[in-house]
Amino acid sequence: MTPSSLRQDHAAALQALLGLDGVNYKTNLSKEELFREAIANDRGRVMADGPDDAQKAYPTKLGANGPLVYYTDPTCTGRPVQDTFGVAWPELEEKVWWKSDFQKFDPAKFEALLKRVVAHLNARKSTLYVKDVYCGSDPSYARPYRLVSEYATHSFFCHNMFPKDIAGVTEEEAKRWTMLNVPSFHCDPERDGTRSKRIACLDFRNRLVLVAGRADYCGVVKKSMFTVMNYLLPDLGEMSMHCSANVGKDGDGAILFGLSGTGKTTLSADPERKLIGDDEHAWTGAGVSNLEDGCYAKLIDLDKQAEPVIAAALSMPGTLIENVPALPGKRIEDTDPQEFDLNDDSVTENTRFSYPLEANPMVMEGARGPHPQTIVLLTADAFGVLPPISILDEEQVMYHFVSGFTAKLAGTEVGVTEPKAAFSACFGAPFMAQKPSVYAMRLAEKMKQHKARCVLLNTGWGGGAYGVGKRISIKHTRALLDAALRGDLDANKTEYAMHPVFNLKMPKSCPGVPAEILDPRNTWSDKNAYDAAALALRDLFRKNYEEKGFGKLGIKPVM
């Protein structure tokens, strides 16, 4: 099909689907073309008191041979969770997990809003960038994904992050999802029923995502489709997961669940193992496969020596740097990418970097791997009371999976060292469109079917809470993980002690790890203080369990 006929095909499809008429399409441009288009044409607000026609995208000193640098609206340097909705069609009322970061949106209001956004584009005779990709690398479940965006940058990002040319997907048009991304349209809350002047809204009935207003953070393009797949895959009998995944030399697969700061990306990037992916996966009858074709890494405080892949990719063509500030007194166009101050959080703490999966040195062919033998639930316990590693039975797996616990530091003010518990069901609550028990049941079924083991790996503190104790060394964490992956910690190969508060099985020994740290109480000089801290954390788990109603969803209280 020629470019001209392809544009006509898209125009007809989008006119029928959305009513777009009289707009200009730039369809499936190459990344090199999108690089130039973004710099020339992407315009919007980049400063709080700035105009709405400021330049959004820039080249570096390397020009087209280096990354694209992009700045979001200053009010949207992360996902706009309070402005993220799902259209509450009657058939979805009981099925969808409605919550504060995925709220109901009135169907009539949505249909009226969509018409206004389309009329806005038609009246402006807008130029729209169309990018056709897939979500999912396995044709058995992959969904065609069509991004229709005002910004070339979003099309560029979409090309980076999603698979292309997946052969074997059947009934493509019946499965296709379309995102209409329109930053220039500002919602009217009183008229449109929105919370603010922006919205990101998923319509599961009509396979549509509408993004309008100041919601131009690139992650919206990615995470909206992850939410879609989390809705679809359980109904296919498959498991969708917010996790990293890799494969060892003997073909042993592993998946690592974990919230930000727990070491998910770092631990999965193992020189002895091939990467399937670092963030979003499906576990199907064929094994584990990546939903994506790229990586979207945080850049703030990046240690280039510890993260050489990301450091090298910073200077590669076809990559995207998001919200890293310009150097004082120096134009971005005159800056080498390696010169950027990655510790500068003056725009946002959530600086980001998008690069193709192939930039990693060891990647599984086709971004697919076998059924995992080991499931790792990561937590970074800043209270310093959880064991460095625990072996979980089936009921404990479901409990800790739906709990999705880690502990974060309360803040960065001087003297503020009190840890703060964070619970995110299934280690990705905002993106889980169905109820947590749906995913927990799927995980338990898959683990039982494929005889997978599960460990709770704590990358947090020992000897006391943050500010008193020390973080468990990466050397010891890797030794614990390696032992679990080898099966050294299986029940028939080692002895265990039972934690009296958390009811967790703790190995009494592990190669390369001092035996005394395996029971965290041993590392505290004040045993009474440890006991009190452990009971306090147990009570936080119990409170979260009750507040979330996990008992009513069939999750057993194991703690």
Active-site residue, selected from the candidate residues 146, 222, 223, 442: 223
Active-site residue, selected from the candidate residues 143, 352, 368, 446: 352
- Indicate if 242 belongs to the active site: yes
CA 359, 360, 365, 370 torsion-angle sign: negative
- Indicate if 437 belongs to the active site: no
- Indicate if 417 belongs to the active site: no
Active-site residue, selected from the candidate residues 10, 56, 264, 273: 264
Distance (Å, whole) CA 409 – CA 286: 40
Residues contacting residue 492 through CB under 8 Å, at least 6 positions apart: none
Q: Which helix (H) or strand (E) covers residue 456, if one does?
A: strand 453-458
Residue 295 pairs with which residues in a beta bridge?
A: 355
- Indicate if 101 belongs to the active site: no
- Indicate if 274 belongs to the active site: no
Active-site residue, selected from the candidate residues 30, 100, 260, 509: 260
Q: Which residue type occupies 532?
A: A
Active-site residue, selected from the candidate residues 265, 335, 351, 354: 265
- Indicate if 539 belongs to the active site: no
Distance (Å, whole) CA 124 – CA 433: 35
Active-site residue, selected from the candidate residues 79, 222, 273, 499: 79
3-class DSSP state for residue 243?
A: strand
SS (H, E, C) 270-287: CCCCEEEECCEEEEECCE
Tokens of 192: 């449109």
Active-site residue, selected from the candidate residues 242, 446, 453, 499: 242
Distance (Å, whole) CA 390 – CA 396: 10
Distance (Å, whole) CA 245 – CA 289: 9
Distance (Å, whole) CA 513 – CA 316: 39
Distance (Å, whole) CA 189 – CA 196: 6
- Indicate if 104 belongs to the active site: no
- Indicate if 281 belongs to the active site: no
The C-alpha angle with vertex 190 and arms to 186 and 195, in degrees rounded to 5, equals 65
Query: Are 184 and 120 a contacting pair, CB within 8 Å?
Result: yes
Distance (Å, whole) CA 488 – CA 43: 56
Q: Which helix (H) or strand (E) covers residue 109, if one does?
A: helix 107-124
Residues contacting residue 445 through CB under 8 Å, at least 6 positions apart: none
Q: Which residues are catalytic?
A: 79, 223, 242, 260, 264-265, 279, 352
